[in-house]
Every structure is written in C-alpha cells, then in structure tokens.
Amino acid sequence: MTKYIGQRLVQALLTLILITLIVFFMMRLLPGDPLLIYLGQRAELHDMTDEALEELRKEFGLDKPIMVQYVNWVAGALRLDLGTSIFYREDVGTLMKERFPITLYLGCIAMAVSTTAGILIGLLAAVRRGAWPDKIISPLTYIGVTIPAFWLGIILIYVFAQKLGWLPVSGFTSPFKDFVQSTRQIILPVICLSAFGVASTARQMRSSMLEVLPQDYIRTAWAKGLSERVIIIKHALKNSLIPVITLIGVGFRVMIGGSVLVETVFAIPGVGRLMVSSIFSQDYVVVQALTLVIAVLVLLINLVIDLFYGWLDPRIRYN
C-alpha cells in the first residue's frame, strides 16, 4: 500500500513536470506581450517609453533567456513562491488566497450535490426501471449531460433572476458575512456547476445498478429472505458504485473547467474568473501558477479516488 502510494506520487511528479513545461512555453508562444498590455491599460500613452518597458522586463525577469526563466519559476514554486502578477502587481499567492476559497466553496457544494443527487436519482431510476420515475429521469439526464453550463447559466439568470425575480442576478457574498444573501446568490451557480455532474452520475449509477441487479449474488440475497432495502443498499449499491466513483473524479475536473465559465457568467470573484482575465491580459505568472495549483489538486483527487476503489472492492490489490 505505502509502496503503491509512493509509485503513484512519483508518477504524479512526472506528470506535474510535463504540465509545467507545457504551460510555461505555451503561454510564451502566444503572440503579444503582457507588459505592453499592462502599460497600455495603466499608463498614459506618453509614459510608454522603451525605457519603461525595459525596466518592467527586468523587474519580472523577462529579459533573461527563456530556460533561465523556467528554472527560476520552478525554483520559486518549490519554495511556494509563485511570483508576482504582472497585471495586478500583487503576489500571486495573495491573489489566490482571496479567490480559491470561493471557488472551492462553490465547487464542494456542487460536488456534494451532484454526487448525492446523482446517486439517489440513478438508484431510483434503476430500482423502478420502466416505471414512471425512470421514464421522467432518463430523458432529463440526457438533457443534463448535453446542456452547456454557460447557456444554462444565462437561461437560469433570465428566468429566475430577471423574470421571476426570486434570486439575485449575480455576485458573491461571503457566507460568514451574510449567510442568507450568500446562499441565495450561490443557488443558480451551483445548479449550473452540478447539472452535468448530477446527470452523468445518475446515468452511470442507473446503468451500473441495472448491471448488478441481475447478478447471481443478488438472487442469493433475495433467497436469504432479506428485504428489498437491505438488498439494494447493502448488497447492490457498493458493487455498483465502482464505476460511479471514476465518474466523480472526472466530474471534479469538469467542475474546475466549468467554474471558469460559471464564475464569468455570474460575476463570482473566484479563480475561474481570475484565470479568464489573466489569459486575456497574458499574465504569464498568474496563469502558470493557477494551472500548477489546479494540476496538483486534480492529481491528488485522482490518487484519493484510486485508494477509495480499494475500500469499495476488496478484490483490488495495490501492487
């Protein structure tokens, strides 16, 4: 087990190195210059002298050869120093500290919603296969997996915020400051973020449950005289969760992607929006740092999920 985790960590490290290389060089291959964008937005036109540009270039170390820049960045990242944003002129760590909790808060709620709702809905559809709950659920999940998050967001805002006026259009308030307002504000973004997760989890849950229910060991459980509830929850659920857990890992990655769009649509000051604005302003430092942190998170989640399999299915051995 320890050996397995060790191996997985080494693999994760290699993946991480690859990711840093790709992000670092891809950003620099893009046409344009972040310093020009910065100066263009901040300074009066007459301030945009070649000297000012050179000075900035030096300040951010962008005058050095590209390999040196890469090594400097990696060395900084190892000391947990992710650099200073070109555009915000602020430490990237500080920028993220303000925004990551918001994204994670929304993300965790959306994950919890999509996992529990997805499993319960899929279970219901499978157990009552062909009856009315299944007939309603199955088509809805088709829609759920195909609907684009940003489109759903705009429609939700239009219907529930603008037309019905039940919920605020956009924005984010800390739940510690004003819990009610905060909750009202996150309802639509959470629906948006979890729509795909709920639908895909439910579909996977339904089909893997339908695969488990005709198994011999379920017939054995019936023959033992157990109740339907015990058979579904104890004998069938654990067996059918294995493929669903894989999907939850995928769902997490989809959610990070989704937060970019959803935070933009709902004007939520999270890392998703920071990512979008930093890409537009070609803020190398921020984009690199965010990609690195998100990559680490995804790799960790994948490891946790792999270990979770072992708890679910005793036939899995880690060697």
Interaction site with other proteins (CB under 8 A): 214-217, 219-228, 230, 234-235, 238-239, 312-315
Let me know: does 74 contact 244? Beta carbons within 8 Å: no
Nearest CB to other proteins, comparing residues 203 and 235: 235
Distance CA 272, CA 289 (A): 13
Nearest CB to other proteins, comparing residues 89 and 234: 234
Nearest CB to other proteins, comparing residues 304 and 316: 316
Tell which residue, 20, 2, 3, 1, has the closest CA to residue 299: 20
Q: How far is the CB of 191 from other proteins (least distance, A)?
A: 33
Beta-bridged to residue 279, according to DSSP, are none
Q: How far is the CB of 213 from other proteins (least distance, A)?
A: 9
Q: How far is the CB of 237 from other proteins (least distance, A)?
A: 10
Nearest CB to other proteins, comparing residues 86 and 241: 241
Q: How far is the CB of 200 from other proteins (least distance, A)?
A: 23
Q: How far is the CB of 312 from other proteins (least distance, A)?
A: 7
Token pair listed for 233: 């929850």
Nearest CB to other proteins, comparing residues 113 and 312: 312
Q: How far is the CB of 211 from other proteins (least distance, A)?
A: 13
Nearest CB to other proteins, comparing residues 55 and 228: 228
Distance CA 88, CA 274 (A): 11
